[in-house]
Chains A and B, each alone.
Chain A
Amino acid sequence: MEVLVQQIINGLTLGAIYGLIAVGYTMVFGIIGMVNFAHGDVFMVGGFSALILFLLVTGALGHGAGVIFLAIIVCLVLGMALTGLWNWAIERIAYRPLRGSFRLAPLISAIGMSMVLVNFVQVAQGARNKPIPPMLRDGIKIMERDGFVVTLAYKQIVIFVVTALLLGIFWYVVQKTPLGRAQRACEQDGKMAALLGIDVDRTVSITFVIGAALAAVAGVMYLVYYGVISFSDGFIPGVKAFTAAVLGGIGSLPGAVLGGLIIGMVETLWSAYFSIDYKDVAAFMLLAITLIFLPQGLLGKPEVEKV
């Protein structure tokens, strides 16, 4: 029972990270109908930017508790901005000229971009794992029995709060602002939106920037949670977040978050009760099973084929 509670807490933490990445996939898919294959690596770039910013701040100010707090804020704000810039540039250079080109062209371009990002970070920053000093080590004891303590670590609280806060802001932007309205309009019918005076290119660009900013938040959270990042860390979380987006119903924003939480739970529980070696296999199988039996996802709309 205690183990289960602890695993559920860990699973939700992981799920929050996947959910943040999945929102980027699902938004981009909703608006231009492509899988941004490089999105997982954009998340990795976000994590790396956070690593460097974190080292900059702690290097200048030391390792006090207040400094750590400040460093996380700096990582979040600047990391979101710089990662957003990365995704903006990627969309502008590699995807926008291919809009309306043949079907697979943007996807292949995205695969190329994904390789460029991974290899660029590998060459520029080295291939080794990059650890940061452990921080926010303590936590709150929730319950204890027979020597097994269930803890909610402070960093998990940080992750929950930041994720909830940012998803809340994001939800407000999409639902209540003119920008969000333009986005939803482009998603429903790009041509019609353009005819009604919405700058579709600009809306798509902003969508990419927002998606990347949320991925950067996930990158910061990943760094805070695991305390280590490497150039290849984008691939597996990327595929899992894509699974989350598909599971929740691609195109659906609450679906992406829900899917992320489910994937996080499945992965953690699988590691705890079955086999830690096969946890990635479990997530990938879940992707296949979803696509076979529930292709529209949990909260998605069924796809209508049109000629």
Chain B
Amino acid sequence: MAASRDDKPATLADILRNALFWTGIALGLFCLLIGLKTDQQANEIVLVPRVGLLAGVLLAVFLFTVAGGLWTSHHQARRAAGKANVTGDAIKRIEPFIKPFLIAFVLTFPFIAIGLSGWQGSLKWIDNFGIQILIYVMLGWGLNVVVGLAGLLDLGYVAFYAVGAYSYSLLATQYGLSFWILLPIAGILAAFWGIILGFPVLRLRGDYLAVVTLAFGEIIRLVLINWVDFSNGYAGISSIPRPTFFGIPFTNDEGGFASVFGLEPSGLYYKIFLFYLILGLALITAYVTTRLRRLPIGRAWEALREDEIACRALGINTVTTKLTAFAIGAMFGGFGGSFFAARQGFISPESFTFIESAQILAIVVLGGAGSLYGVVIAAVGIVGGFEILRELDFLKEVFGNDFDPAQYRALIFGLSMVVIMLWKPRGLVSTRDPSVVLKERKAISSELMKEGHG
């Protein structure tokens, strides 16, 4: 980590000294928090020493820094020897082939799942993996409008998700309206809230904006918890009606989906239907955002991201530009929220915590703000990765029965956010090339330019 700044490769002694230094730091950091565990016994807290674990962690830090040091010195030696470090942007090269393949795979995914793991086994794949990942892909694409295109860091995106979910649940349970009517209404309400919350923060930038949006997200959650008459508080809203297929409900009795189409009764049809529903919503999000990027408003967003002062100097109305970004991002969040409520059948404020916002933001930022593919890759990696982690039973044998990978979710998120920022601050797949160019792309693209303070 702390490699010598000059290009001279570090010697082994340097590397070891550096590793010992960081191990000493780690000893200072972890001696209390790992070395001693606070355990509840009867009515008081007692300390249980964990020397073995502390030693293990320190050894891991030592080995990691040695490996890191060797790796950097190896690279420095190679660079000194004049060997160019050729790392082509592989994803860009195969980009034309990804799209049709990806779409074909996703469209046939439920049938591939049924074919590979049978009628019962496919339920897990379609529900836990397919639908779950697609929800986050859709939310990621929605937030991408705000963060990736307009460059406004929004830490309260989950507020709009909550607005969508509660709009659908409350209107459906109180007034019996159908999912298909309420879906656009939920989107409009969320967009409306996007504008309301967008107004006060118009003058804010970067860091301030992030903290204020975070505060707004928390305000909405706290109101949902405390305003029991409206939202039923912590208890949440249950028995939210399911969406129907052009008026045909997904029930197993007469007039249900299976009997109308003469199929065997099974719960799987509903899951497949939900899968295509969220896929459709996600594709609409992607289509709308790619089209918007080419409109004047989309170009204004990208310009705003690059330099706000220049934007204003060129006569772009930053107020409408920011508000439309908030509103459109919020609208997709609202769609996602009402789908979430319909799929779960139960919602409570617990589903809309800051960690949820952070997860969506992590997907956008890690994938590469502004990139549609990046969001997909990050969503598959993060959401799918955790589902797989939950499946791995052999981890229990290695780490003991108490080991629950879900516990480490935020730790892995956080670390991956830091590591990706250090390694590729723009995300895995990212581009700052403008979506629209005049006649030809210039040799000096914005990729090479320093960024203004927008």
A residues lining the B interface (CB < 8 Å): 29, 34-35, 37, 45, 48-49, 51-53, 55-56, 59, 82, 85-86, 89, 92-94, 97-98, 101-109, 111-126, 128, 130-133, 235, 239, 242-243, 246, 275, 277-278, 280-281, 284-285, 287-288, 291-292, 295, 305, 307
- Check B215 against A109 for contact (C-beta < 8 Å): no
Interfacial chain B residues near A98, Cβ < 8 Å:
421-422, 425
Contact of B207 among A34, A97, A118, A307 (CB under 8 A): A34
Beta-carbon contact of A122 and B418 below 8 Å: no
Residues of A within 8 A of B31 (CB): 82
User: Of residues 24 to 58 in B, which have CB atoms within 8 Å of A's CB atoms?
Assistant: 25, 28-29, 31-34, 36-40, 44-47
Structural contact, A281 and B422, CB atoms closer than 8 A: no
Contacts of B201 in A (CB 8 A): 288, 291
**A115 engages B223 (CB within 8 Å):** no
- Whether B215 lies near A284 (C-beta < 8 A) is yes
A20 to B295, CA, bound (A): 48
Partner of A112, one of B39, B155, B415: B415
Q: List the A residue with the shortest CB-CB distance to B228.
A: A277
Let me know if A285 and B203 touch, CB within 8 A. no
B416 touches A287 (CB 8 A): no
Are A125 and B365 also in contact (CB < 8 A) when A89-B29, A102-B426, A285-B219 are?
A: no
Majority secondary structure, B binding face: helix
In angstroms, Cα B46 to Cα A128, docked, is: 13
The distance from the CB of B162 to the nearest CB of chain A, in whole angstroms, is: 15
B205 to chain A, nearest CB (A): 9
| B414 CB-CB contact with A under 8 Å | yes
Instruction: Write out the residue numbers on chain B whose beta carbons fall within 8 Å of the beta carbon of A59.
Output: 46-47
Give the chain A neighbours of B203 by CB distance below 8 A: 291-292, 295
Q: Which chain A residue has the least Cβ–Cβ distance from B407?
A: A123
Pick 16 A–B contacts, CB within 8 A, sort by A. Answer: A34-B207, A56-B47, A89-B29, A93-B1, A101-B421, A102-B426, A107-B210, A108-B361, A108-B421, A111-B358, A119-B411, A119-B414, A121-B33, A122-B410, A126-B39, A295-B204
Q: Is there an interface contact between B207 and A35, defined as CB atoms closer than 8 Å? A: yes
Residues of A within 8 A of B215 (CB): 239, 243, 284, 287-288
Find chain B residues with CB under 8 A from A52 CB.
32-33, 36, 38, 47
Q: Are A291 and B214 in contact (CB under 8 A)?
A: no
- B417 A111 Cβ-Cβ under 8 A: yes
Q: Is B121 close to A, CB under 8 A?
A: no
The reply on B454 being an interface residue by CB < 8 A is yes
The residue in chain B whose Cβ has the minimal distance to the Cβ of A287 is B215
Residue from A82, A86, A92, A281 within 8 A of B219 (CB atoms) = A281
- The answer to whether B98 has its CB under 8 Å from any CB of chain A is no
Partner of A82, one of B32, B39, B361: B32
Q: Which residue of A lies closest to B205 (CB)?
A: A103
With contact pairs A52-B38, A115-B411 given, residues A108 and B417 touching in the complex (Cβ less than 8 Å): yes
Q: Does more than half of chain A's interface fall in helix, strand or loop, or is it mixed?
A: helix
* Min distance, Cβ A50 to any Cβ of chain B, angstroms: 9
Residue ID in chain A nearest B202 by CB atoms: A292
Q: Give the distance in Å from the alpha carbon of A120 to the alpha carbon of B421 in the complex.
A: 20
Interface footprint category on B = 35 or more
Taking a contact as CB atoms under 8 Å apart, the answer to whether A82 and B28 are in contact is yes
A35-B207, A51-B38, A295-B203 in contact; A288/B418 too (CB < 8 A)?
no
A102 touches B218 (CB 8 A): no
B45 touches A55 (CB 8 A): yes
Q: Which residues of B contact A108 (CB under 8 A)?
A: 153, 361, 365, 417, 421
User: Given A113-B418, A115-B414, A280-B218, A122 and B407 touching (CB < 8 A)?
Assistant: yes
A119 contacts across to B, CB distance below 8 A: 407-411, 414
Q: State whether A114 touches B206 (Cβ < 8 A).
A: no
On whether A288 and B38 interact (CB within 8 A), knowing A89-B29, A103-B454, A130-B45, the answer reads no
A35 contacts B211, C-beta separation under 8 Å: yes
B2, B29, B203, most chain A CB atoms within 10 A: B29
The CB with the most chain A CB atoms within 10 A, among B1, B44, B208, B223, is that of B208
B226 touches A (CB below 8 Å):
yes
Give the residues in chain B near A94, CB-CB below 8 Å. Answer: 418, 421-422
A85 CB to nearest chain B CB (Å): 5
Find chain A residues with CB under 8 A from B2 CB. 92
User: Which partner residue on chain A sits nearest B404 by CB separation?
Assistant: A123
**A246–B207 CB distance below 8 A:** no
A86 touches B418 (CB 8 A): no
What are the residues of chain A within 8 A of B219 when measuring CB–CB? 281, 284-285
B33 touches A48 (CB 8 A): yes
| Least Cβ–Cβ distance between B167 and chain A, in angstroms | 21
Within 8 A of A (CB), among B132-191: 151, 153, 155
